[in-house]
Structure 1
Amino acid sequence: MGLAPEIRPPQPDPTMRDYYRRTIAFARDTMRQPVKAGRDLHFSDLAFFLRFARPIWRVGVLALIATALVSAAKTVLPLSIKFFIDNVLLGETPDPGSLLAGAGGLLSSLNTLILALLVLGIFTGGMDLIRNYWTARFREDYAFNLQTALFEHVLSFPLSYFKSQQTGYILSRLSDDVQILQYTISQYLPQIVANALYVIFAFAILCTLNLRLTFVVVAFIPLYLLVNAVFIRRIRAATYRERERQAYVSRDLAEVITGIETVKSHAAEDREVHKVSRTLRDMVDARIRNTMLSAASEYFRIGTMSLMLIAVFWFGGNEVLAGAMTIGDFVAFAVYIVTFAPTVNTFFAFPVVMQPALTSAARLRDLFAMHGEPGAAPGTGGTLPGAVQGRIEFSGVWFGYSRENPVLRDANFVVRPGEVVAVVGRTGAGKTTLVNLILRAFVPQEGTIALDGRDLASLDPRWLRRQVSIVSQDLFLFHTTIEDNIRYSRPGATFEEVAEAARKAQIHDDIMRFPEGYQTVVGERGTQVSVGQRQRIAIARAFLKDAPILILDEPTSALDMQTEAQIRQTLRVLVRNRTTILVSHRPSLLDLTNRVLSIEDGRVQEFRGADVTIIPGTGCRYHTPGGSVVP
């Protein structure tokens, strides 16, 4: 007979073991003392946010007065139980030394007590409706003032900020943090004000009912403070991590949706889902940590509240048994504690529940602390010259997106008023960078750029850009009508002026073929019209703006040869009597120019336009009439 098989105890599932290990590590990490995340709000920051309440301070005062009256009325209501038991049911005579003796004598009749309760109920309900209206008015107006000021401030940032940040991240900072702050103002601030007033009024009444029992209640306050001391910093750090990861999710989602054509053309849906899911997982983990910390702090506060109720019943019951307290006083005191304890719990939870709002406020304060462009906001400086001649001069300009790799090296050239200058070079040579420097999207690291002898750094950037019409290769149309998109360059233009600009840009006939004509909505980023039509709408904008300086950045890159020939004749009219910088790889456009600036290895070289011919297939080399090839 064989040996019996060895019986082994069940082994833990490795998968479950790893799961438990990760859970324990997650909980340990959640309760770990946090590294400082973000910056703390200071009193000056809180004072900063008060400025958005100044225009509506009267509404805030009315809401506060209504809140105080509602809280006072609700505080008085539990006293009716004392009068009902002691004075109506038991028929006891009020103690002449009691502060409530007068009210007890007046409400000793059941009819009088019921009438008083009806009046109090009607007053409380009506005043609560008024309070809700004024609170909602204050909340919405405050959020409006804050978000409007924030949006205006962010729009004053230099173009380099928007080029360095992803759209989804910026939108999250603009919307999510404001919504969190608005939610806090709408939910917690009115509640905390009402609770604070209720605590004050109720505490005064508790002292009147039984001073010694009130001291028992006060003895539990340090426990609430201890819970806050343990959890506040942890919740603040967890909230900061959650907000940042939420911004990253918005960033990644916006990027995928914006580039959906590229994603689908490369069948990359699974890759993008995987990438976004990793970011989502980080946000989910941060949100779970935040939720667990808030739940743990709430658990300890409720435990403290329960201990306080037990202590009140024990000490209060002994007071009644000893004859030191009436039944009505004890019942009223107990009712106050039943309502008072949750209110105290909410009051002391306020620093904890405010952490998301404080985190959002700190992030918003960081945005407000960022400096916009000089002169980008009214009253912030920047010269506003008179007439513009159009002389543009680069003197010793160095610029690079990193100092180790300069895009432009000691650029020196002059574009004279009314002159047409072409800028050519290989892809990535720095042609668009040169245009962005003229528009003050970036600032030179060395050297100066001047307009009519004035350094661009001294000019108001908004004024500067009003003097420039630009047709960029990065075509952007707004999700509105064709007419509104053309009029964007000059909002006060008439329809006849818009149509004339469209005719000059050779787009009028195309527009009239649409069923809605000029009222055709182009779709988001102009997806309902072709690339060539978008480019001609952009050219129509430049015609309509009629600025003294014109920048054409690959203006015919999306056009067929026939349309380009038509546009070229129109451009001859457009560039007349205005300073024009033309960035183009099209040899056919060089006959519009007086001179050519070639960018090679960051150096800017100058040639006469009539002496230069682009040799197809040779990148940025130029053939002169003498036969030599210039790199």
Structure 2
Amino acid sequence: MSITDYCRRTVAFTRDIMRQPAKVDRDLQFSDLVFFLRFARPIWSVGVLALVATALVSAAKTVLPLSIKFLIDNILLGETPLPDTLLAEAGGILSSLNILTVALLALGLFTGGMDLARNYWTARFREGYAFNLQTTLVEHVLSFPLSYFKSQQTGYIMSRLSDDVQILQYTFSQYLPQIIANALYVAFTLVILFILNLRLTLVVIAFIPLYLLVNAVFIRRIRAATHQERERQAYVSRDLQEVISGIDTVKSHAAEDREVRKVSGTLRNMVNARIRNTMLSALSEYFRIGTMSLMLIAAFWFGGNEVLAGGMTVGDFVAFAVYIVTFAPTVNTFFAFPVVMQPALTSAGRLRELFRMSGEAGTAPGTGGIAPADVQGLIEFSGVWFGYAESDPVIRDATFVARPGETVAVVGRTGVGKTTLINLILRAFMPQRGTITLDKRDLSSLDPRWLRRQVSLVSQDLFLFHTTIEENIRYSKPDATFEEVIGAARKAQIHEDIMQFSEGYGTIVGDRGTQLSVGQRQRVAIARAFLKDAPILILDEPTSALDLQTEDRIRQILRVLTRGRTTILISHRPSLLELADRVLTIEGGRVRECRGAADGIDPGSRPVAP
């Protein structure tokens, strides 16, 4: 690339980053900030202690430069040219070098001890706040309907749950304590500067509008750039998680290079957004430092003329100069706060967006979701229509009944809507038209968590946690005893296999149960169902990945499991259809009943009668 092309790209990049951004989302309102204060309520006392300690440390540090004035005017020159003021009285007390030294030593010990206490209380407050925020956020997100999780990729959700909270936590640990300390230091310093020289202090204050102008130019641009960076970072997490989760497929197709290019493209977008954000922050810092330098030059010039004209003592000027040298960077940091807070405000906005999303109907306290005392297991579909897009229904006018204790098989081509039917029963989605009832109660009126406790699910897409076999079986009933876990395992005919492992029930199954065979994983899932002992059972292709011998073994287990339960069975295997009392088929989105359970799909099938 030639120098001319490089210069052109640099100019184009500068124009791009300085372009006024479109509004990326709703600005945070005061009510939003009040919302985030709720997470500080349980630890407010620790926050008050940290704030008091910060104020005391800032006040102590503000007094320290006055010792230079007292040293020059009261000790070295031996005079106090000030009128009868508080500083004059303090100068009289500290006119001895020994007294001044002892006072400075005591002040240093006090400041150091209080600073340690401030760091401890600040850390307690910071970690407590992050704990309260993230715990509440996870609880809220887990209340979202299943449709949300099915429509979002895991990596993206994880980024929203972790990265944004970490940004807020970092803000509490770095910027917020610093800005409070700086604000107090600026306030205390201004009082002392006014006492030392009013005219020179007004010169310093005259530069404050320049800081405000810099913030006005850069804040919105940095906020927009930060929002873009956060989103692209979430996309990187999404793509990485997808690649790692599907590593078997990637390897089997020798697609490593293809996935690297895909992740690289997403990563490049994030890097470009990060560079843009960094340059905007650097430019705003450049202009603030320029303003600070002008303020220092003006203060020295006016102050020097005051000393030459006899309006200030040498001690006053030196003390004033020391204050300005320490005051100017503090002011710079103080006015940089709105800019450096943009990442935190962006994260707060993204978190507030999650908190505004509603959970499932009936899960929030006071929403009135019904939780009946007992369940018979009568499931009825009445004129149910559902489509992921309303213009393209997957289920059309479905009407059928699954009676208590009955096993109803559902068959049909792949993608015809069998799993959708199950998701409707589990209330992962709500029908656009028609009703689904359990024991004559509309599912929409039931507490969804209560409803799912009444259902045992054995799915082809079973999930085992990276923990012990015992904990995986107990997951369906956390308060079960070890003897109950063993009993469920025996019923699922997995006990003997478990005992062959060196750690027995304490064996770690690996990520998603990779240390177990497919048949063993299926039987662990069936053991969960035995342990849960729910009145409704859903079997979604429970033997799809098994050989015929293992399938026959599983079929005998399922025959026992289905007894006395309302069972919805989805399977293409003829051997499993023998378990069914009735067989339904889905064709063109419509549910019809076959003539016999063992006859397969009958061309002359008829609509199901309620």
- Is the contact made by 2:595 and 2:605 (CA closer than 8 Å) also made in structure 1? no
Alignment of 1:323-402 (within 5 A): 323-402=310-389
Is the 2:385–2:431 contact (alpha carbons within 8 Å) kept by the matching residues of 1?
A: yes
- CA apart distance, 1:485: 0.4
The count of corresponding residues between Structure 1 and Structure 2 is 607
Q: Which residue of 2 aligns with 1:498?
A: 485
8 A Cα contact 1:99 1:208, kept in partner: no
Q: Which moved more, 1:377-386 or 1:258-267?
A: 377-386
Residues 16-51 of structure 1: CA distance to partner in whole angstroms, max 9, x if unpaired? 554443332222111111111122100000000000
Contact 1:320 / 1:330 at 8 angstroms: preserved in 2? yes
* Equivalent position of 1:591 in the other structure: 578
* 1:94 shift after superposition: 4.8
After the TM superposition, which residues 194-273 of structure 1 pair with which residues of structure 2 at under 5 Å, given as runs?
194-273=181-260
1:185 aligns with 2:172: yes
Aligned to 1:404: 391
Counterpart CA distance in 2 for 1:17 and 1:328 is: 55
Deviations 1:159-216 (A, max 9, x none): 0000000000000000000000110111000000000000000000000000000000
Does the 8 Å contact 2:594/2:606 carry over to 1?
Answer: no
1:122-201 map, 5 Å? 122-201=109-188
| TM-fit CA distance, 1:531 | 1.6
Worse overlay, 491-500 or 351-360: 491-500
The answer to whether residue 439 in structure 2 is matched with residue 452 in structure 1 is: yes
State the Cα deviation string for residues 566-623 of structure 1 (Å, max 9, x = none). Answer: 222222221111111111111011221111111011000013544x423xxxxxx337
SS state of the match for residue 460, structure 2?
Answer: coil
The alignment status of 1:558 with 2:545, answered yes or no, reads: yes
Offset at 1:629?
8.6
Q: 1:103 aligns with which of 79, 90, 108?
A: 90
Residue 436 of structure 2 aligns with an amino acid whose one-letter code is: I
**1:493 Cα offset (Å):** 1.0
Residues of 2 paired with 1:229 and 1:69: CA distance? 32
Q: Which residue of 2 aligns with 1:617?
A: none
Separation in 1 of the partners of 2:258 and 2:168? 35
| Equivalent in 584, 609, 613 of residue 599 of structure 2 | 613
Which stretch shifts more, 141-150 or 35-44? Answer: 35-44
Within 5 A, what are the aligned runs for 1:18-97?
Answer: 18-97=5-84
Measure how far apart 1:271 and its partner are: 0.7
Unaligned runs of 5+ in 1: 1-12, 615-620
8 Å CA contact retained: 1:238, 1:286: yes
Aligned equivalents of 2:263 and 2:557: distance in 1? 47
- Report whether the alignment pairs 1:306 with 2:306: no
Structure-1 separation of matches of 2:344 and 2:432: 39
**Letter in structure 2 aligned against 1:128:** D
CA distance in 2, matches of 1:24, 1:282: 20
Cα distance in 2 for residues equivalent to 1:561 and 1:230: 71
Gaps in structure 2 of 5+ consecutive residues: none
Q: What is the aligned counterpart of 1:622 among 554, 579, 602? A: 602
* Residue 8 of structure 1: aligned partner: none
Question: RMSD over aligned Cα, in angstroms?
Answer: 1.4
- C-alpha offsets along residues 404-456 of structure 1, whole Å, 9 cap, x if unaligned? 22110000011111111001111111111000000000110111110011110
Shift of 1:98: 2.7
Higher mean Cα deviation, 278-287 or 525-534?
Answer: 525-534
The one of 274, 281, 291 aligned to 2:278: 291
Q: Which segment is superposed worse, 195-204 or 550-559?
A: 550-559
Quote the offset at 1:93 in angstroms.
2.9
Query: C-alpha distance in 2, partners of 1:37/1:533?
Result: 50
For 1:606 and 1:188, how far apart are their aligned partners in 2? 66
Distance in structure 2 (CA, Å) of the matches to 1:555 and 1:504: 16
CA distance in 2, matches of 1:107, 1:583: 91
Structure 2 equivalent of residue 430 of structure 1: 417
Query: What is the percent sequence identity of the aligned residues?
Result: 81
Task: Give TM-score, length-normalised by structure 1.
Answer: 0.94
| Counterpart secondary structure, 1:228 | helix
Give the C-alpha shift of residue 147 in structure 1: 0.2
Q: Partners of 2:78 and 2:7 in 1: how far apart?
A: 65
Question: Could you give the per-residue CA deviations for residues 130-175 of structure 1, whole angstroms, max 9, x where no partner exists?
Answer: 0000000000000000000000000000000000000000000000
Distance in structure 2 (CA, Å) of the matches to 1:457 and 1:629: 31
Query: Structure 2 CA distance, aligned partners of 1:629 and 1:546?
Result: 34
1:538 maps onto 2:525 in alignment: yes
Question: Counterpart of 1:404 in 2: which secondary structure?
Answer: coil
CA distance 1:629–1:180, shift in 2 (3 Å): closer
In structure 1, how many angstroms separate the alpha carbons of the residues matched to 2:551 and 2:275? 58
Query: What is the CA distance between 1:533 and its match in structure 2?
Result: 1.3
- Alignment partner, residue 3 of structure 1: none
Q: Which whole-Å CA distance do the structure 2 matches of 1:499 and 1:19 have between them?
A: 71
Amino acid in the other structure paired with 2:304: G
Do the aligned residues in 2 keep the contact of 1:382 with 1:458 (CA within 8 Å)?
yes
CA–CA distance in structure 2, aligned partners of residues 160 and 29 of structure 1: 38
Distance in structure 2 (CA, Å) of the matches to 1:94 and 1:445: 87
Distance 1:69 1:364 in 2: 34
- Find the aligned partners of 1:604 and 1:393 in 2 and give their Cα distance: 13
Alpha carbons 2:592, 2:605 under 8 Å: kept? no
User: Do 2:228 and 2:273's aligned partners in 1 also have CA atoms closer than 8 Å?
Assistant: yes
CA contact (8 A) 1:590 1:609 kept: no
Q: 1:261 and 1:556 mapped to 2: Cα distance?
A: 21
**Letter in structure 1 aligned against 2:602:** Y
Q: Which residue of 2 is the match for residue 603 of structure 1?
A: 590
TM-score (norm 2): 0.98
Q: Residue by residue, what CA displacement relative to the aligned partner does 1:91-146 show, whole Å, maximum 9, x if unpaired? A: 00353433311101000010000000000000000000000000000000000000
Residue 280 of structure 1 corresponds to: 267
Counterpart amino acid of residue 85 in structure 1: I
